[in-house]
Amino acid sequence: MRKVRFGVVGLKGIGQTHLRAIASTEEAQLLAVADIDEGVGKSTSSQYGVEWYRDYEKMLELNDIDAVTICTPHFLHAPMAVKALQSGKHVLVEKPMAITVKEADGMVEKARSKNAKLGVVFQYRTNPTNREIKRLIDTGELGRIYRVCMEACNFRTQAYYNRDAWRGKWATEGGGALINQTIHELDLLQWFVGKPSRLLGQISTMYHNVEVEDIASATVLFENGAHGIIQLGIVDPIRTERLEICGEKGTIVTEGGKTKRAILGKNLKELVAEEAAWPKPAAPQFLDVEPKEIMGGGHGAVMKDFARAILEDREPLVNGEDGRTSLEIVNAIILSSFEAKPVTFPINREAYSNLIRRLSKKG
């Protein structure tokens, strides 16, 4: 079997997850690694029996490498990805793919011009239950989606930010809870419901000593007409993870790690058209949502899909355009908050890039 030969850029934290994913993927082979930290570089080189490069650009000169994964701090994602694409490599980049959607535009354009695969790591899409939710929506079993409500309220301590100098800063992290933690949930939301057309957002820094936001909220109008309400943050020790998707034929609710659905006896339009002014509501019967496909999830599934996308010459599970949409939602919430008004999609690229430059200088 032909294998896709990988190089990994950035070996700490999530980089170790990528290394394990490559090692466990039949279609992949690790060829080289790059990191400016000599200690982690040499130890990883020894562990996997591959060459270590302090300068990732030197690694990109290897003709034998087919693809690279980028696992560095956020502000390095876009320039490193563009450099790798320019070198003729396929690129799998950790979320977020960039700090600004303008940077993401450049990555997508470069991938197209080089006829290269550009993938973004959003492993929540590989979860079997999430894939079943997507199937139920795409097959029309819920009917037209008209309302969604999402809460992704998690927790991080100040120590989380203190351990890495790049975290918590506009110039290097590009945001806080939105761009780092809850972009996963925003990716699922746009995957399930579709792209937004208009958004009103609000962010605040309530409890952490950082430049960026630790709580955010937004009201959203989607392209299909659905209304959405979002609350996101990292200031909730009592965590809340909840998603409600309402369609004209039924509702899906995910909460506390469990997903249930209720199907209406009649279509919503028929219920609205009933002659009785105060019809007796039918008690909803919620049933567990059980995945119809059994597959592995997480980074291993993402890596396997990306390798196969290269071998089969198809788009990866989350391509550059999809990754850009999730990032644009993040950018939109932040832009709307600072401009104190709604923003429409596509957002003004220059306005957001200028905002990030101003915020970075303040820091």
Position 281 scores a pLDDT of 67
Position 294 scores a pLDDT of 63
> Residue 358's CB: how many other CB atoms inside 10 A?
11
Distance of alpha carbon 274 from the chain centroid:
42
Q: In what order do the strands lie in the sheet with 67-70?
A: 51-53, 28-34, 4-9, 67-70, 90-94, 118-121
Position 319 scores a pLDDT of 98
- Segments making up each domain of the chain, as ranges: 4-123+297-319, 125-293+326-362
pTM of the model: 0.96
Give 14-22 contacts, CB < 8 A, sequence gap 24+.
14/71, 14/94, 15/71, 17/299, 18/69, 18/71, 18/94, 18/299, 18/303, 19/44, 19/48, 20/299, 20/300, 21/298, 21/299, 21/300, 21/302, 21/303, 22/69, 22/303
What CATH number does domain 125-293+326-362 carry, 3.30.420.40, 3.40.50.300, 2.130.10.10, 3.30.360.10?
3.30.360.10
Q: What is the dotted CATH code of the domain comprising 4-123+297-319?
A: 3.40.50.720
Alpha-carbon distance 68 to 59, whole Å?
10
Position 174 scores a pLDDT of 98
Position 39 scores a pLDDT of 97
pLDDT, one tens digit for every residue, the chain (363 residues):
799 999 999 999 999 999 999 999 999 999 999 999 999 999 999 999 999 999 999 999 999 999 999 999 999 999 999 999 999 999 999 999 999 999 999 999 999 999 999 999 999 999 999 999 999 999 999 999 999 999 999 999 999 999 999 999 999 999 999 999 999 999 999 999 999 999 999 999 999 999 999 999 999 999 999 999 999 999 999 999 999 999 999 999 999 889 999 988 888 888 888 767 777 766 777 888 988 766 667 999 999 999 999 999 999 999 999 999 999 999 999 999 999 999 999 999 999 999 999 999 986
Query: What residues pair up with 147 in beta bridges, in sequence order?
Result: 227, 246
Q: Are 65 and 5 in contact (CB under 8 A)?
A: yes
Q: Which residues lie below 8 Å from residue 101, measured CB to CB, with a gap of 6+?
A: 324, 327, 328, 331, 346, 347, 349, 352
Position 362 scores a pLDDT of 80
> Both ends of the chain: CA-CA distance in Å?
51
Of the candidates 168, 192, 191, 165, the one whose C-alpha atom is nearest the C-alpha of residue 180 is 168
Position 23 scores a pLDDT of 97
